[in-house]
Structure 1
């Protein structure tokens, strides 16, 4: 590979990662008409674990040596992949637009900063407080435009309170999971640690599917395509890109580009599904993204 090609790949990797990550909400939207959320995710993780195990054998990656670390990594998997993805898929299944769902869970850095104050003893700066307020204002603007006062039972256009609770449960799951990993999993190997996380999430989602779902899947071409995309595009390719960036020491570039996930997802959902956001919602997304960026600017 020439030097020019290498430089282009280095510059494109963070952008490609974020674009892949944003399509996770789109893949859920495509596949959920044919499978229930927990069942969908359980099948996804079973397939992902098989492929990831082959990759571990190929790369000769080492496993954690302490049983306690295995436990902590699995807990992170339950929070970050099980509760987060399970709740995101549930919110979309219940009718919440993909762009709105992405915006709510995109507030994760703000919630993490707030929780870190009490859990890790970290101080919240004045700039972070301003960012938190802007994030909340942005969410209120987006949700306010979706109000359907003529239908008090649903309250929002196309979805009800159950979808809202699911989206905020996803936000809490990934925020707590991030802090838990920071506190207990500093020695986690990247590849094998990801395998253990997926394994923990798979077990919890499998139990949830057994208890709360029919576990029926309509294996249409659309569902299979969505499943394959989420496996290869998200669970494998996006994770490998992230590991590449971390090993280069460029994780901060990914963090900054993450602010683009909600508007990119909203644009994709508008193109693919006709999900329209009015002027106030678009301004709300801009305000919320600015708040997240401000709170995390070094």
Structure 2
């Protein structure tokens, strides 16, 4: 004999099914948009990376020839090394200085106004930052003229010698990015409960000991976000390099993103440019996944 609860269960299942289909209906436009704007271009780029294509005639299938050419090209190897230098530099300089600015100003009266000058450059575009620093660091530019006024005539060729040109461009990026990193770290510091800080101070923890024992462990979740964003952004560095050196002299300061751009849109070698794009995408995904897994495993162990 059928249970009296069966109609209730049936209605409950029908309600749950309607809820699931309604939820899928709300999600479907977003999924479609992501597929059209992200996944389909990625699949098309992957296909082009396996062809010989100049943007005019039909793509001609060549297999992995573009990847073989890419890894055997000294220019590509130099771009990859420059990109790694960008990753290291942007982790050390803008993130490190941003943390220092946040620590020095977060507990000060008027600290917001002290952080504001660091935050203003973030409103500029990368090309704009490149133009400003090209004026400062170019041959006989503002910096050279300022040094000459102090009797220093033999100045370095800031944008002409490698790897000095990459190093000063990392400095320009730091000038733009320190403010937003300081803002993010300040938000993290302000969210720390006062009780552990007061207890640590009563135990005599001040200065570096307070930072190491209390502040840094509590900032770790936010630090993971800041460092992850910095890694991804540095792997895709393009605009500042294009604005300051255009990858020169020669190709001495090119990054992978700039090499991809030149191969594709300057040399009209869409197949090789697509191969570099796929390689850069894979490297970015692997770096992001490995970093997030390491952070999550550290969190669970803690």
**Superposition TM-score, scaled by structure 1 size:** 0.31
